[in-house]
Homo-oligomer: A and B are copies of this chain.
Amino acid sequence: MDKLLNDLMAIVGTEGMLLGEDVSQRSVDWFTGAPCRAKAIVRPRSTEQLSQVLALCYQADQPVVTHGGMTGIVHGGEAAPDELVISLERMNRIEEVDPVGSTIQVQAGVTLQHVQEAAEEIDMQFPLDLGARGSCTIGGNIATNAGGIRVIRYGMMRQQVLGLEAVLSDGTVVSSLNKMLKNNAGYDLKQLFIGSEGTLGIVTRAVLRLQPRMPSEQTALVAVPSFDALTQLLGLVSHELGLSAFEALWNNHYKLMTTESGKHMPLLADDSPFYAIIETLGLDETRDAEYFSQILQKALEAGLITDAVLANSSSQRQGIWAIREDIEVLVKELKPMFSYDVSLPIPHMEAYVETLEQDLEAQWPETGKMVVFGHLGDGNLHIMITVRDDSPESRRQVEQLVYSPLKEYGGSVSAEHGIGLEKRDYLNISRSSEEIALMKRMKIALDPKGLLNPGKVVALD
């Protein structure tokens, strides 16, 4: 073992350092199961330990890659054999829950679900929510500015963070554990670390904002006859309801998840061009349920939906959401799968998806298959494609089909998943050369040796 690893072990202890098979048995990509290739995984117990670890790495010019819950899908956690992984998995404490100030202070390695549960224990809620809730960590949610299913009501992770603590590449601890809703005392430094994917600093702790719990939850799956009806439906429910989620499913997605794979019950017939999952949160179960079904009735009469199923129990609710959230079915059915996460203005969406479908059919008439779903209200689509071949050339060709049209629409190659390694070469579709130059300038200012998650997001020349 080299001297640096020895010195690091002196800081974190033997429990805090994984080597050999303990490293390679871990995967850096849950789609493919690709193994971690780093020379070691360092697992600090505290901000102080991490600070000492990074100070040593800085002296030794040792690049590091930070690991959270490893649920990302843009290769942000990939590590080369000469890189060290820093995992925050042993920093998973909930430090303080404050019902009066409506805040929770946690270490970065805690899972999203633990935070949600801690909020529920004091009759509040932590509103960020996504399918990976049981594995993904708050540090990862912050580093990637996670989105999920309730952005339409509560915003992305950036909106949930009141304060944070991060360690810079040289080991400097910048602690901004602000609990105030309003604080204009100088630059809002936390914004630097939110969404920068571990390239500007490593997030160690955070103060998050809690929201009043909404005891009444209404959920429906509806069949929608056209894209135009889908957007009108969104308009109707946005104005009339306490909307917390509006998830659109294209027919290809709904059919694969239900009748084609046989994995989920087809709660509605599978021949509708679109489906939507509508969820509202409120305070009064009886009143909200009545109002919810009135609005759906109105939508039915206006021809915006052709059929609907309302959840009457939490197991029915879970049944509806499982159709949307069970990504494992997609991974299996569309193997090898390419996953995309784009945003574009709603008026362009229908044509964009149709063109993409035609292009795919033209280039891969036998093997091409895609499914589309997403957070319609946020302008965010998830597109899963297979051509039954994951050679680099095929991947490139499919990427071209998916990303090229976005430039014209002012869309984004990454709505919520981030850039990582996977989308770095496409960053210029959504960002100008001046923007990318400014990103590099920030990277150099905060991480002058380029040691934090090297090559991710922006490559320094």
Contacts and interface: CB of A to CB of B under 8 A. Distances in A.
Interface stretch (A14-22, A267-275, A389-397, A408-416): A408-416
A194 B184 CA distance: 10
B182 A378 contact: yes
Nearest to A426: B185
A262 interface: no
5 closest A-B pairs by beta carbon, nearest first, are A445-B445, A191-B191, A185-B430, A182-B415, A183-B412
Interface in A161-207: 168, 172-176, 178-189, 191-192, 194-196, 200
B379 A419 contact: no
A174 B435 contact: yes
A1 interface: no
Given A100-B346, A184-B412, 17 more contacts: A101-B346, A155-B159, A156-B182, A172-B438, A173-B434, A176-B431, A176-B435, A180-B344, A181-B377, A181-B379, A186-B427, A187-B196, A187-B442, A191-B192, A192-B442, A239-B283, A445-B445
Nearest to A341: B184
Interface string A233-265: 000001110000000000000000000000000
Interface string A401-439: 000000000111111111100010001001110111111
A91 interface: no
Interface size class, chain A: 35 or more
Contacts of A92: none
Nearest to A284: B240
Given A183-B415, A441-B446, A174 B434 contact: yes
A414 B189 contact: no
Contacts of A239: 212, 283
A182 B147 contact: yes
A194 to B, nearest CB: 7
A407 to B, nearest CB: 12
B145 A188 contact: yes
A189 to B, nearest CB: 6
Contacts of A182: 147, 151, 156, 343, 375, 378-380, 412, 415-416
